[in-house]
Structure 1
């Protein structure tokens, strides 16, 4: 601490530009935490507030999913029954101004922050639709409570397709609603489910446990162990299966991380689902948010988690039962994506005696594909649907008569 104080005073007094004590303290704390592993960090007031919004899955806003394109905010899709949907926003609309301020030059986060705000507060946005030369028009809206939709579903023939994009407080209610809707829509024709966890970065541990519990009737889901390797928490399934025992295929890829891997690992170890896709990210650690003074917080890694069979997937990932690359008509070479093990300072996997110098080989590199998860060009999804159809057809085959026992004749 004496050394720290000496450095602090010299920087404050002699650095080429004036820096505040707050800047130095924040940088020092963040440096201390980020040096531990890739997932520990310091959250200032804005970061802490945003993290709370993400975990709650609700906020005051307009109800549109957006991205940034050529300096403008582009509408991906309006969320049903929100101010944006009722105002007639369409996919592809470009938002050029927010309350009279041009959006060009703003980051996506800055633009989103401007659209969010207190419930009941009015906002005006300038929208350009169609070709670049069309005249922008103004839309007046009033902010409402917006609940994110991390679960989307639809019928793929007689298969129920459920895509989960994150684990917030809205995930379990969204899953229950999706399953109920599919059961009502397909009735007795429903032959199974595809649970799509691809590119799902994770989220809340309790939501991952709840989602896995929805499909598992009994047994362990996940356990965590802290510093001394002693089991600190154990989560077991309660009786009941939301899907009534129908076959399940879980889609995963290199973007499936953390809470997604908890669900995938539990369903695989409990032999409740077939995992299809490619190797997952390999984030097998648990972070705890610890509030600090002045509406700040620290996020620190406090445990590793383990699947029901006792395996840690830290820096390894979950290996699918059936490896299926995302492909078009032909496989195209693609540079391997970053994994947990590639991150500087990543935790080691404590279940391995000799740590691998590089992540385990997962076969050929994933092929390049422009297919959007869940689209008609989604090759992995089609393979999952084919598997469920094949399983259903196999179950419908008539029982084969038993062969007559072999008769051995002897002469005497």
Structure 2
């Protein structure tokens, strides 16, 4: 099975890629000779032995080797890493949709732990943790330079136990936030009728996403009492998840046909994934909402809807994580696992969104225009990120993007009133949807 992992978040997915013999041959040609490799391994062993014998305090061999492995993998790209046996078990639990903790996606950025997005209806969301927050302390102790796994372990604990974290926000004083740990049961799909239009939010693509979407569409039809006049699919702040779930969710709006393709280091290492026939929401006008925290599997869905002309994409340019990670168990998971970037993914028209993201058909900001550029950290800003390549193998250029016309909320508009959602509902109700869809195509 193959999965697309979120943006280096604590919630990840599991997959195992089988490497073909042709790939193995290609790799063997590019590698240095075995003699040279063994010499480097001997150097590593010499350094380890010297540290064990001469370092100022006793060291743990296992921790040193694990850190060395992680250093090697993280020098490749931001998403490759070693997964310890304990973390591998946690990872398997996370993708099933239930785990203990505070309920937020986190990553590391220049030695800091950064919040990608808080999860709906969790302690983190209710306490006011925001996307883009930097967690600097846990229970009064600094976590600067601490590994992501260690930081996550410190934040997890028994349900009912309180925890205080310190967060830093741009242009604000450090803020202490106290929460009570809970068992995080992810209701990843929510729906309701807003002003006569069906609203469906998917917060993450775990194992329950497509099932939840089917229930949402059925529930909307029942409440409306007939055909749904329009659907707003909200993928804002959705960091991604399982590849198969992104395909199944796309299938609800596409009657078969290609959803996404993945390509590895050789031209023969290409796979195409088609949606299932029997469009669940056939003929229903569709707007997909995205923002700078929509990543990975979210971008697959938005890109497929956009390329296939099935609906409009509205909001802000997405995160730009267009790479696929394989989580390869080591000795059946007893020695943990290797999370390794093995492929890029491409939209049906052949676009790689790695580092560039999905540009919406209609740009709508969530906040009023303050005269300053609103720039979120995205995939292209991460250290050692994999470059985007077009079909000619050249780096994609930002200069090729069309001039952006941005729709901002009026002065004094309350962010909580959700301007992006209001504009999506307005477009579905005012009769201009078909015209805008034709213009986007």
Which range, TM-score by smaller chain? 0.7 to 0.9
Give the distance between the partners of 1:53 and 1:228, measured in 2 at CA. Answer: 33
Correspondence 1:275 to 2:275: no
> Could you tell me which residue of structure 2 aligns to residue 377 of structure 1?
417
Q: Report runs of 4+ in structure 1 exceeding 4 Å deviation.
A: 64-67, 75-79, 103-112, 124-127, 356-369, 392-395
Contact 1:204 1:259 in 2 (8 A): yes
Correspondence 1:340 to 2:379: yes
Match of 1:292 among 319, 330, 335: 330
Q: Secondary structure at the match of 1:256?
A: coil
> Could you tell me which residue of structure 1 aligns to residue 135 of structure 2?
none
Match of 1:303 among 337, 343, 367: 343
> Could you tell me which residue of structure 2 aligns to residue 22 of structure 1?
62
What do the CA deviations read for 1:74-94 (whole angstroms, capped 9, x no partner)? x99868xxxx9xxxxxx679x
Contact 2:388 2:396 in 1 (8 A): no
> Could you tell me which residue of structure 2 aligns to residue 113 of structure 1?
156
What root-mean-square deviation, in Å, do the aligned CA atoms of Structure 1 and Structure 2 show? 3.7
Contact 1:331 1:367 in 2 (8 A): no
Greater RCO structure (CA 8 Å; 6+ sep): 2
1:339-378 matched pairs, under 5 angstroms: 339-351=378-390, 353-355=393-395, 363=404, 377-378=417-418
> Could you tell me which residue of structure 2 aligns to residue 52 of structure 1?
92
Match of 1:32 among 56, 59, 72: 72
Give the distance between the partners of 2:344 and 2:210, measured in 1 at CA. Answer: 23
Superposition deviation, residue 348 in structure 1? 1.5
Q: From the superposition, tell whether residues 237 and 393 of structure 1 become closer, same or farther in structure 2 (CA, over 3 Å).
A: closer
What do the CA deviations read for 1:201-237 (whole angstroms, capped 9, x no partner)? 1111111111111110021001111111324321112
Contact 1:289 1:300 in 2 (8 A): yes
Tell me the TM-score normalised to structure 2 length: 0.68
Superposition deviation, residue 382 in structure 1? 0.7
Give the distance between the partners of 1:110 and 1:12, measured in 2 at CA. Answer: 27
> Could you tell me which residue of structure 2 aligns to residue 253 of structure 1?
291
Q: Secondary structure at the match of 1:114?
A: coil
Superposition deviation, residue 340 in structure 1? 1.0
Give the distance between the partners of 2:94 and 2:407, measured in 1 at CA. Answer: 30
What do the CA deviations read for 1:318-364 (whole angstroms, capped 9, x no partner)? 11111112234x54525411111111111112325442577977748
Superposition deviation, residue 173 in structure 1? 1.3
Q: From the superposition, tell whether residues 234 and 126 of structure 1 become closer, same or farther in structure 2 (CA, over 3 Å).
A: closer
Contact 1:326 1:380 in 2 (8 A): yes
Superposition deviation, residue 276 in structure 1? 0.7
Q: From the superposition, tell whether residues 291 and 381 of structure 1 become closer, same or farther in structure 2 (CA, over 3 Å).
A: same
> Could you tell me which residue of structure 1 aligns to residue 194 of structure 2?
156
Give the distance between the partners of 2:345 and 2:246, measured in 1 at CA. Answer: 12
Give the distance between the partners of 2:312 and 2:374, measured in 1 at CA. Answer: 27
Contact 2:363 2:406 in 1 (8 A): no
Contact 1:158 1:189 in 2 (8 A): no
- Unpaired segments ≥5 residues, structure 1: 68-74, 85-90, 94-102, 117-123, 128-138, 396-412
> Could you tell me which residue of structure 2 aligns to residue 221 of structure 1?
259
Q: From the superposition, tell whether residues 23 and 365 of structure 1 become closer, same or farther in structure 2 (CA, over 3 Å).
A: farther
Contact 1:255 1:281 in 2 (8 A): yes
Q: Secondary structure at the match of 1:161?
A: strand
Tell me the TM-score normalised to structure 1 length: 0.73
What do the CA deviations read for 1:138-176 (whole angstroms, capped 9, x no partner)? x9xxx98x7411111111111111111111111111111
Q: From the superposition, tell whether residues 163 and 255 of structure 1 become closer, same or farther in structure 2 (CA, over 3 Å).
A: same
Give the distance between the partners of 1:265 and 1:55, measured in 2 at CA. Answer: 23
Quick check: which has more Rg, 1 or 2?
1
Give the distance between the partners of 1:188 and 1:392, measured in 2 at CA. Answer: 22
Q: Secondary structure at the match of 1:11?
A: helix
Q: Secondary structure at the match of 1:206?
A: helix
Work out the number of aligned pairs and report it.
344
Give the distance between the partners of 2:248 and 2:192, measured in 1 at CA. Answer: 21
Give the distance between the partners of 1:66 and 1:225, measured in 2 at CA. Answer: 30
Q: From the superposition, tell whether residues 384 and 285 of structure 1 become closer, same or farther in structure 2 (CA, over 3 Å).
A: same
Contact 2:326 2:342 in 1 (8 A): yes
Superposition deviation, residue 187 in structure 1? 2.2
> Could you tell me which residue of structure 1 aligns to residue 32 of structure 2?
none
